[in-house]
A and B are shown apart, each in its own frame.
Chain A
Amino acid sequence: MNKDYSKIGLYPHNINGYEKVIEGYKNNSVVSVIRATGTGKTYIGLQLALDNNDKKTMYFVPSYAIIEHITSTINDNPNLDLTRDFPNLDLRVYQSLVNMSYEEIKNLDVDILILDEFHHLGAPVWGARIKTLIETHPNIKIFGMTAYTVRDRNTPYERDMINPYTNELFSNTDVSHYDICDGMINRVLPLLIYRSAWLVNELYQKIEEEAKDLDPTLSEDKKLLELIKNAKRLIQKAPSIIDVIKQNIIPDGKYIYFCPPKSKDGKNDIDTIMQEAKEWFLAMGLKEEDIIFYKTTSKMRKLGKQNRDAFYYDVDLEGNSVSNKLRVMFAINQYNEGVHAPNVNGVIMGRYTSSDIVYFEELGRALSVKGDTLKKYEEYQKYSLEELLDLCKQRKIYVEDNITKEKIINKLLSPVVIDLVNNIGFIKELENNLKDRIKEISKKTGNHRDNTLTLKETYFDIVIQNEDLFTVLNDLSQRLANSWDKMYEYAKQYYEHYGNLEVPQWFKTNNGYDYDENGKINLGAWIACQRLRISPTSERGQKLLAIGMRFENKFLTWDEMYEYAKIYYEHHGNLEVPYKFKTNNGYEYDENGKINLGQWINRQRQKIDPTSERGQKLLAIGMRFENKICTLTWDEMYEYAKIYYEKHGNLEVPQWFKTNNGYEYDENGKINLGLWIVRQRHNVDPTSERGQKLLAIGMRFENKFLTWDEMYELAKKYYEKHGNLEVPHSFKTNNGYEYSEHGKINLGPWVDRQRQRVDPTSEHGQKLLAIGMRFENKICTLTWDEMYELAKKYYEKHGNLEVSQKFKTNNGYEYDENGKVNLGQWINRQRQRVDPTSEHGQKLLAIGMRFENKFLTWDEMYELAKKYYEKHGNLEVPHSFKTNNGYEYSEHGKINLGFWIATQRQSVAPTSERGQKLLAIGMRFENKICTLTWDEMYELAKLYYEHHGNLKVPSSFKTNNGYEYDENGKINLGKWIVKQREKVIPTSERGQMLIKIGMVFSVRKNKEDVKIFCLENNIDLEKNKITLNHISIQELVAKTRYLKEQNIDIVDANGLLHEIYSMSNVNMQVKYNISLEVLIDKYYLTYSRK
């Protein structure tokens, strides 16, 4: 039998909802509905109260304003009488329970509990009191209603009050869901006219303020300043708020203006806003008497209610009808929730909010139309297009040409939302949701929502003034946000969290310390950039040093170092900087100082000519050049050299040799004799008087650095002998034309260098051409950018930059045997020399450059090994030996030759072709561990057991007989045992064999404890095998207790352990702000003590 709901006036969509509530009570005592603001959920509550008016019903709401609204709803309904129809209804605010004792709550007489806007139960005290009420009334029936189920969205306290997994009061109780989209689809709620004017001026002011920190001498900052200037020009032409108001406010309309809850700088309090708004409306051409303002704030109490009542009934505070005037209610929170005013034409949003709840509550005031949208829609449908256009004209509603009837009706029905504070994200989201819902319904996928599709138009009429300009400004604002000071703040955050500024270059973040793959702040790159660009002595450099910046990798210029020296001088009055003096600020010693000022000063003393410009600058800040080796005359130094010769019989003085007497080395010696000798070798002509004097005391001039002309003469000799200048690269000579293995003059490399470096048109170039120089294969004639362009062509053609080193080309992408451009060589050099983070590096990366270690072929590696052998006479390459040329160790060498040799030793059969080639260059295959079979190794292990009574073989144990350690033993029994422990299953045949000779497979204690603990805590052993195989029982227990205390699930829905169990201590500290030390102490040791 159909029940009659006309007394309350329940809307059809709510009748459906209410019947579901009744249905729900058949099986449960707690039922809830979710209803969008403005769709009449209050009526459902009242219907329930009416149907149970013989029972004590307690109806809780968040504010007295809502109680007012409910009473008005009843009083305004001619079918209802509060006393007659609701004799047992007790309307209360949640707050009324706060000061009640347990006993008082227990003694409340209540059968039905209606909880309106129940998401407020997330408030701890309100929630606790309601809980007490329910617990003390076991037979109570509970009905919950709300528009939003989530409390404190987007905050750490976010809580979904119907979360099915958290055992909330209303978890799994919602029987009917009807949101704004449902309302719009059913035409219970109108669509929207949405007008927004981005507050560009305010944003621009903010930008201008931030731009004060920009440094116009820096290119990035300069660009930003230019953009800001352009933006200013655009703003001057942009429409203002008054334009938006003029276009969208109806002169006799009714609006609610939502003001911000707090005044900013005391300027935008509600009265100031009203004053400002009045100016706008006057600018529309209205007279002051045509504008009626109302105001309601929580402090106004009775006066606020008077204002609300007047606004509700379209009268002024004296009771005169003002329905033909512009009526604007200025409110903060009073209209947010559950309080409605009829026939509102729109809302003005003057309050920015990040809360969707607040936003949609405000929007709901515009949408709430007391259910007559559908009625009006049906009425307008009967109008002709012309009649509707006339109506629009009368109401001053703008309609575009060729508009459809449907759209006109929507315009007539739609309230206007004027958003002055850029809450635009929400409306776009709502519009998208609506579109999705329409699609969903069209596909007839069906859901439990109460709706049918009558809506044809799903687009809101949204106009956002200045959107493009706002985008520009927003972008600028973002870029400014990443400006130096902002970035510095992020760096500081990092420093405060990690104690250093060793930020990996890939590190992106949003807060400065948490890595975020999609982080907006590229802190790592910024730090790297600062290291390269900023001078440590500058203000910024000093700020960075204060938070742990390391500048060493930066190559400090002479001038930068000079600045430090100057600072030292200014503080100490001299430049007597101790050799080991390190500093960060130039004048204070710091053990961990980044700048080796002492060393630098010492170098200057040795290298700089006091009469040079730099020398003069240094002298000006107290430099003492006296100990410099050149203070002694040539003759004086010669005397010392002579003494050396007399003592040692030669003049082979090491370059580092310092002395005070000429023949004895002295670490602190004042005379750098070694350096002097080297200089003489380079600078003195052996045939000169000085040369002759030096030759007389054993001077060797052979390795003398020859001048260009001297080398040219030798090259000329080569040409005269050979008829060309095709000198092999490895050509050494003493006379210019004959090869000599021990030749002192490397003519080949010199000719190569000339080919690369000398401009053929220069004087040197011409001279070389005259003796047959060929410049064609010169790779450096092209600039870096030109070479880059060719590399780019290669990349575009081949999709990569894997250019063979021998690749020659003329066009960049085709190999040409006679090609003039050695692209391969160039690429290889870039790989070796260019820093991937530099500008060149970045450009190369963009066309597929690979900077990692090049994968060399076996033959290439062999060639390098051969070079090692040729240099060292053996192939005993240390495992960690890295190199670039095969024989010299380089810390940053690209080729791990040591590792390769070790791998060959393990993987190559000595009898194979490769093995033979390796043997030819001194390969030693003896320590290869896998030559013995498993059974043979087992026999040796057995011998160990028989001799030692156990199989506790140290992993470094080498032997030849199985039981005695031999440093040079060929058999790594220790490693073999380790491998067996890893690879052999204890229950297998081999496992059993090993157990027989004392093998202990388990290396871990507490395995059983871990198992038991997991069983007790429902942790799936199999699913979490890896974690559980490694975690200690203390850590497992402590982390579990911690998670439980934090109400965090220890396993997820798939039974996998929470991430904290497999996290490192550092990551855990960063993410959860707790260390392993604290966890163990608080949740394991303290618990155990208790």
Chain B
Amino acid sequence: MFLNKYINKFYLNLIYDNYEEDFINSLDEENFIKISNLFKNNNFYFINDIYLNYLEIFNLDYEEVFNKLEILKNKLGNNYNYIIGNDMRYLEFLMN
């Protein structure tokens, strides 16, 4: 599985403990990278936590995630990444 290329062992173990393997295997690497980069480019300094708790997001359509993230950023203001880092439940918005 490609995840081990991008995620450290500690988080990887937790992810495998948290998600069905079929689901992990269904992830598309290209999409995963695109969405990861989207978060990274938007200064999400806690990308590992997003992998761990919101891995479903990386299976979503990039455009949709991009679009919703823009809305979320607008809603939360300039320090959106800090706010989300403090309460990751905001990420649920990307999945709705």
Shortest C-beta distance, B73 to chain A (Å), equals: 10
| Nearest B residue (CB) for A902 | B63
Interface of B (DSSP majority class): helix
Contact flags (1/0) for B53-81 with A, using CB distance below 8 Å?
11110011111001100000000001101
Any B CB within 8 A of the CB of A1026: yes
Q: Give A14 to B40 CA distance when docked, in angstroms.
A: 66
Chain A residues near B67 (CB-CB < 8 A): 903
Q: Give A1065 to B56 CA distance when docked, in angstroms.
A: 19
CB-based contact B89/A1026 at 8 Å: yes
CB-based contact A515/B82 at 8 Å: yes
Chain A residues near B84 (CB-CB < 8 A): 1064
Known: A506-B78, A952-B22, A954-B28. A879 touches B53 (CB 8 A): no
CB-based contact B56/A982 at 8 Å: yes
CB-based contact B46/A1066 at 8 Å: yes
Q: Give A223 to B52 CA distance when docked, in angstroms.
A: 52
Chain A residues near B20 (CB-CB < 8 A): 1000, 1002-1005
Q: Give A979 to B60 CA distance when docked, in angstroms.
A: 8
Shortest C-beta distance, A1058 to chain B (Å), equals: 12
Chain A residues near B23 (CB-CB < 8 A): 1000, 1003-1004
Any B CB within 8 A of the CB of A1062: yes
Shortest C-beta distance, B39 to chain A (Å), equals: 12
One of A3-11, A444-452, A675-683, A1031-1039 at the interface: A1031-1039
| Nearest A residue (CB) for B44 | A1064
Q: Give A1059 to B25 CA distance when docked, in angstroms.
A: 32
Any B CB within 8 A of the CB of A504: yes
Shortest C-beta distance, A1011 to chain B (Å), equals: 15
Any B CB within 8 A of the CB of A906: yes
| Nearest A residue (CB) for B45 | A1066
Chain A residues near B86 (CB-CB < 8 A): 1059, 1063-1064, 1067
CB-based contact A1063/B95 at 8 Å: no
Neighbour of A1062 across the interface among B25, B26, B48, B89, CB < 8 A: B89
Chain A residues near B6 (CB-CB < 8 A): none
Chain A residues near B89 (CB-CB < 8 A): 1026-1027, 1062
CB-based contact A879/B22 at 8 Å: no
| Nearest A residue (CB) for B54 | A1030
B7-53 CB contacts (< 8 Å) to partner A: 10, 14, 17-20, 22-23, 25-31, 43, 45-46, 48-49, 52-53
User: Could you say which of B26, B87, B95 has the most chain A C-beta atoms within 10 Å of its C-beta?
Assistant: B26
| Nearest B residue (CB) for A1035 | B14
| Nearest B residue (CB) for A1000 | B22
CB-based contact A1032/B52 at 8 Å: yes
| Nearest B residue (CB) for A906 | B63
Neighbour of A1032 across the interface among B14, B46, B66, B79, CB < 8 A: B14
Chain A residues near B52 (CB-CB < 8 A): 1032, 1035
Q: Give A387 to B18 CA distance when docked, in angstroms.
A: 86
CB-based contact A1059/B87 at 8 Å: yes
Any B CB within 8 A of the CB of A235: no
CB-based contact B63/A903 at 8 Å: yes
Chain B residues near A1076 (CB-CB < 8 A): 49
Any B CB within 8 A of the CB of A1077: yes
Q: Give A979 to B82 CA distance when docked, in angstroms.
A: 29
Shortest C-beta distance, A1088 to chain B (Å), equals: 12
Neighbour of B49 across the interface among A979, A1004, A1059, A1065, CB < 8 A: A1065
Interface of A (DSSP majority class): helix
Q: Give A1026 to B22 CA distance when docked, in angstroms.
A: 23
CB-based contact A1063/B87 at 8 Å: yes
Chain B residues near A1026 (CB-CB < 8 A): 89, 92
Q: Give A153 to B48 CA distance when docked, in angstroms.
A: 38
Any B CB within 8 A of the CB of A87: no
Any B CB within 8 A of the CB of A29: no
Any B CB within 8 A of the CB of A640: no
Chain A residues near B49 (CB-CB < 8 A): 1064-1066, 1076
CB-based contact A1003/B66 at 8 Å: no
A994-1017 CB contacts (< 8 Å) to partner B: 1000, 1002-1006
Q: Give A1077 to B17 CA distance when docked, in angstroms.
A: 15
CB-based contact B59/A955 at 8 Å: yes
CB-based contact A1064/B46 at 8 Å: yes
Chain B residues near A906 (CB-CB < 8 A): 63
Shortest C-beta distance, A1010 to chain B (Å), equals: 10
| Nearest A residue (CB) for B81 | A504
Shortest C-beta distance, A1031 to chain B (Å), equals: 6
CB-based contact A506/B59 at 8 Å: no
Shortest C-beta distance, A851 to chain B (Å), equals: 11
CB-based contact A1080/B22 at 8 Å: no
Q: Give A1076 to B54 CA distance when docked, in angstroms.
A: 16
| Nearest A residue (CB) for B18 | A1032
| Nearest A residue (CB) for B23 | A1003
CB-based contact A955/B62 at 8 Å: no
* Band of interface residues on B: 35 or more
CB-based contact B88/A1064 at 8 Å: yes
Shortest C-beta distance, B5 to chain A (Å), equals: 16
| Nearest A residue (CB) for B22 | A952
Shortest C-beta distance, A227 to chain B (Å), equals: 32
Any B CB within 8 A of the CB of A838: no
Known: A1063-B86, A1067-B86. A978 touches B78 (CB 8 A): no
| Nearest B residue (CB) for A1031 | B53
Q: Give A746 to B92 CA distance when docked, in angstroms.
A: 53
CB-based contact A952/B25 at 8 Å: yes
Chain A residues near B26 (CB-CB < 8 A): 952-955, 974, 977-978
Chain A residues near B55 (CB-CB < 8 A): 1003
CB-based contact B63/A879 at 8 Å: yes
Any B CB within 8 A of the CB of A404: no
CB-based contact A956/B30 at 8 Å: yes
Q: Give A1002 to B20 CA distance when docked, in angstroms.
A: 8
CB-based contact B63/A1003 at 8 Å: no
User: Could you say which of B25, B78, B85 has the most chain A C-beta atoms within 10 Å of its C-beta?
Assistant: B85
Q: Give A1026 to B87 CA distance when docked, in angstroms.
A: 11
Chain B residues near A1063 (CB-CB < 8 A): 85-88
Neighbour of B61 across the interface among A975, A1030, A1059, CB < 8 A: A975
Chain A residues near B81 (CB-CB < 8 A): 504
Any B CB within 8 A of the CB of A739: no
| Nearest A residue (CB) for B16 | A1005
Any B CB within 8 A of the CB of A899: yes
Chain A residues near B45 (CB-CB < 8 A): 1064, 1066
Q: Give A410 to B89 CA distance when docked, in angstroms.
A: 59
Q: Give A403 to B54 CA distance when docked, in angstroms.
A: 72
| Nearest A residue (CB) for B29 | A956
| Nearest A residue (CB) for B95 | A982
Q: Give A1035 to B14 CA distance when docked, in angstroms.
A: 9
Chain A residues near B22 (CB-CB < 8 A): 952, 1000
Q: Give A1002 to B19 CA distance when docked, in angstroms.
A: 9
Q: Give A979 to B56 CA distance when docked, in angstroms.
A: 11
Q: Give A954 to B30 CA distance when docked, in angstroms.
A: 12
CB-based contact A1065/B18 at 8 Å: no
Q: Give A545 to B96 CA distance when docked, in angstroms.
A: 44
Q: Give A529 to B18 CA distance when docked, in angstroms.
A: 44
Chain B residues near A1034 (CB-CB < 8 A): 14, 17-18
Chain A residues near B79 (CB-CB < 8 A): 504, 506-507, 515
CB-based contact B25/A1065 at 8 Å: no
| Nearest A residue (CB) for B96 | A982
A-B contact list, 19 entries, CB within 8 Å = A504-B82, A506-B79, A903-B67, A955-B26, A1000-B23, A1004-B20, A1006-B18, A1026-B92, A1030-B88, A1031-B53, A1033-B17, A1035-B14, A1059-B86, A1059-B87, A1063-B86, A1063-B87, A1064-B45, A1064-B85, A1067-B86
A1033-B17, A1064-B49 known; 7 new pairs, CB 8 Å cut-off, are A506-B78, A978-B59, A978-B61, A1002-B20, A1026-B89, A1027-B89, A1080-B14
Binding site for A on B (CB under 8 A): 10, 14, 17-20, 22-23, 25-31, 43, 45-46, 48-49, 52-56, 59-63, 66-67, 78-79, 81-82, 84-89, 92, 95
A-B pairs, 10 with minimum CB distance: A1064-B46, A956-B28, A1003-B23, A1032-B18, A1030-B53, A1064-B85, A1064-B49, A955-B28, A1067-B85, A1026-B89
